[in-house]
Chains A and B, each alone.
Chain A
């Protein structure tokens, strides 16, 4: 009865006090998987990018990338696609989402919109090749209603990739925006209306400030997706001309030149550009209100 050690807790008990027990260990398989198949390869690629195939110092790949216009111009080419697509997507998504949230039956529309996201870029590119082509329905319709005299050239150039990105990326932006907008308590807008705010004032002073954090995230996710454009840039664009995007450069380094080190460098540059844009947008976002969109009871 007087044994001083008798209340000593077992290791199991002490770990459990810190939230570590059999249940916590169930995390391990997934965590080890992501560490091994995502984090490790990424770090491996980072290290590899500093070990150029042809020597020339740790930074040789990066020096080569930023001194060869054929390579460094891919950043600008990709930005020229990703930035307008993201901005246009957001500008159209906000008013449409504000309308659609009032619909009782949104499901048919959201289902149609989720189609291109689900089908993916390869199929959209394949379909657009025909649809936007000189014999396709799009030009044919424009000619039929007399808007143009000859077929528009919309494939194998910038516009083909642009349209395919809009089709795959806009629904994504829209559905994200819709989920943020429906998360705002409608009572807030009604309250603003009872205080005499017009619909524009309600949007400008109530909805927009509440939406900015969500819109910033939507923009980032959209941009990151658009910046990684790949199959449609090859199939619908001019992959050695104006739509030679950065992922094409990376894929060529990997699969045509078998230069894993250079391919990794380009992938790292791609990640860095995405990170920079995301950080920039989030920094701007932090200047706005952040917090509950649920009204009184947070």
Chain B
């Protein structure tokens, strides 16, 4: 008996919304997910990603909109009638049941015969590499092992959809990387459609087929990981993707996608991400590793070093221009605090957004 996944074509969220009183936790979220896809819902805390997941699971009622599997509307079903699998942030294992009973819980609720449950639980435990641990109680397992049990419990019922709510956030850094690889491996092996909620962009980018960036309850951008990383379509998404330098200025010229701005008295070029014309107020966004100490000249800003930290291969520092603009830069050598430096901005990788 091999674990399989559920036959369907598409899961569709249609203008799914949730309000708490006057607060719009989730607003008109529409998304269609193909069978077998791994979707990451990415955003800072409070962006509505967990609300979205709980609405899909049925743990939270939606206030508007629908959820469909193919043409079947499911948002009015109780959570127990949706048949999804879910992995919780703190694992939410049943503390009084053994690993076998935890994993077999969903099958037992579906009145699957005992022998079949035993077989499927064994397969699922093998898949998460927990053979021979079935008789233990969750309290006797390490955090990583508990997480594996939680994953086994979610996939053993062969659900149309697996929901994962920040499953790695309770693990330490090393285990987190290891489990990330495990989740990807299990997904590749089973092909179960997965929605994965996280606030960690690395996790989202490395795991997902497509990433959905949520902000203030709405979808900001949907795309494959490299698209999001290289070409964030929105200033919020850019911030989340590591564009930490935020340089407001006025557009002075534009040729094709190349835009020049006057920023803090210098002229800096970048790539247009939104439609900006000469004379507009705009914001130039750049990652820290696209700003480096250089000789004074074009495309540089003069600044005074304020902090400098060693980060292994290189130094990361902050510097402030005479106008008070703070910049984060990378440097291969130690620069002294208080020294005056010129910082050059990589024009091909800096993005210009309308202010």
- A contact set with B: CB distance below 8 Å: 6-7, 9-10, 12-13, 16-17
What chain B residues lie within 8 Å of A16 (beta carbons)? Answer: 61
Decide yes or no whether B83 CB sits under 8 A from chain A.
Answer: no
CA distance A96 to B54 in the complex (A): 52
Q: List 10 A-B contacts (CB under 8 A).
A: A6-B73, A7-B64, A9-B61, A9-B64, A9-B76, A12-B76, A13-B61, A16-B61, A17-B61, A17-B63
Per the CB 8 Å criterion, the residue count for chain B at the interface is: 11
Does B65 touch A at the CB level, under 8 Å?
Answer: yes
Kindly state whether residue B344 has any CB partner on chain A within 8 Å.
Answer: no
Give B46-64 as 1s and 0s: 1 = Cβ < 8 Å from A's Cβ atoms: 0000000000000001111
Q: How many angstroms from the CA of A12 to the CA of B76 in the assembled complex? A: 8
- Note all chain A residues with C-beta closer than 8 A to B66: 6-7
Q: Is the CB–CB distance between B76 and A13 below 8 Å?
A: yes
The reply to whether B76 and A7 contact each other, CB–CB distance below 8 Å, is no
Chain B proximity of A12: nearest CB distance (Å): 7
Chain A minimum-CB-distance residue to B17: A7
Residues in B lying within 8 Å of A, measured CB to CB = 14-15, 61-66, 73, 75-76
Q: Is the interface of B mostly helix, strand, loop or mixed?
A: strand
Shortest distance from the beta carbon of B66 to any chain A beta carbon, whole Å: 5
Other A-B pairs beyond A10-B76, A13-B62, 15, CB < 8 Å: A6-B66, A7-B14, A7-B15, A7-B64, A7-B66, A9-B61, A9-B63, A9-B64, A9-B76, A12-B76, A13-B61, A13-B75, A13-B76, A16-B61, A17-B61
Q: Which residues of A contact B76 (CB under 8 A)?
A: 9-10, 12-13
7 pairs of A and B residues whose beta carbons are closest in the complex: A16-B61, A13-B61, A10-B76, A17-B61, A7-B66, A7-B65, A7-B64
How many Å from the CB of B205 to the closest CB on chain A? Answer: 33
Contacts of B62 in A (CB 8 A): 9, 13
Separation of A6 and B64 alpha carbons in the complex (Å): 10
Alpha-carbon distance A43/B65, docked complex (angstroms): 47
Write out the residue numbers on chain A whose beta carbons fall within 8 Å of the beta carbon of B63. Answer: 9, 17
By a CB distance below 8 angstroms, the chain B residues around A7 are 14-15, 64-66
The answer for the CA separation of A13 and B63 in the assembled complex, in Å, is 8
User: Smallest distance from the beta carbon of A24 to chain B beta carbons, Å?
Assistant: 13
Which partner residue on chain A sits nearest B68 by CB separation?
A6
CA A17 – CA B62 in complex, angstroms?
8
CA distance A16 to B15 in the complex (A): 20
Closest chain A residue, CB of each to CB of B73 = A6
In the complex, A16 Cα to B63 Cα: how many Å?
Answer: 10
Residues of B within 8 A of A12 (CB): 76
Give A144 to B224 CA distance when docked, in angstroms: 96
Q: With A and B bound together, what is the CA distance between A9 and B64 in angstroms?
A: 7
Which residues of B are found within 8 Å of A13, using beta-carbon distances? 61-62, 75-76
* Closest Cβ–Cβ distance, residue B217 to chain A (whole Å): 16
In chain B, what residue has the closest Cβ to A17? Answer: B61
Complex Cα–Cα for A241 and B281 (A): 95
Q: How many angstroms between the C-alpha atoms of A16 and B65 in the bound complex?
A: 16
Q: Complex formed: what's the CA distance from A7 to B63 in Å? A: 9
Minimum Cβ distance to chain B for residue A14 (Å): 8
* A275 CB to nearest chain B CB (Å): 36
